[in-house]
A and B are shown apart, each in its own frame.
Chain A
Amino acid sequence: GDSVTQMEGPVTLSEEAFLTINCTYTATGYPSLFWYVQYPGEGLQLLLKATKADDKGSNKGFEATYRKETTSFHLEKGSVQVSDSAVYFCALTPYNNNDMRFGAGTRLTVKP
């Protein structure tokens, strides 16, 4: 079935470093792709999404491009801040339904 694989964490970076969190997917058809962020003790917040190939989702300096040829949706940010410390989940919903599949999550810690 459809699934998502994201890079294992934890990831520790210094402030202003470049961030990449890899996410690849397996799906039949054309899924929708998402990145969610979860801060300690809180629920999931949608960070960005893309619904078709070559779409770029962006928000708060984060971006990810839906790459069908490599079945990837890697999350990037040019300059991370301490406040970006959180767990990031890549997810997909298969074509034509909202049955969401999550990656394992990647814990990011940004140090001053």
Chain B
Amino acid sequence: GAVVSQHPSRVICKSGTSVKIECRSLDFQATTMFWYRQFPKQSLMLMATSNEGSKATYEQGVEKDKFLINHASLTLSTLTVTSAHPEDSSFYICSAGGQGDLSYEQYFGPGTRLTVT
């Protein structure tokens, strides 16, 4: 149980275009989902926390108009990188928060590598 998928696993897009990354909890309902960004050889940086049906809470320094997060259902959250630039190239990881007795835990997706050319 507690499987989280991400799609696509890799994406290459041209500068100025937008790209959407999907994060799905496959076998449980996730009230809360998290989006992280990881630069090469660094730790995960939390970008935002999204709760189903409400606006995401962004961490300081993360542009909410550039990184659009939608959590429209209990099993799907999306991250859209708008007007992407090469500096947006990174590894993006989502996670879903556990429920009930496992509410202290997060379940991580496999990540999406974005390359902006």
> Contact residues of A with B, CB < 8 Å?
32, 34, 36, 41-46, 49, 51, 89, 93, 96-100, 102-105, 107
Contact = CB atoms under 8 A, between A and B. Distances in A.
Interface residues of B, number: 22
8 contacts: A32-B105, A43-B6, A43-B108, A51-B104, A89-B44, A93-B104, A98-B105, A100-B34
A55 B4 CA distance: 27
B104 A105 contact: no
Contact of A32 (B32, B46, B104, B111): B104
Contacts of B104: 32, 51, 93, 96-98
A17 B101 CA distance: 37
Contacts, number: 49
A8 to B, nearest CB: 12
B43 interface: yes
B43 A49 contact: no
A107 B41 contact: yes
B96 to A, nearest CB: 9
Given A51-B104, A97-B104, A105 B43 contact: yes
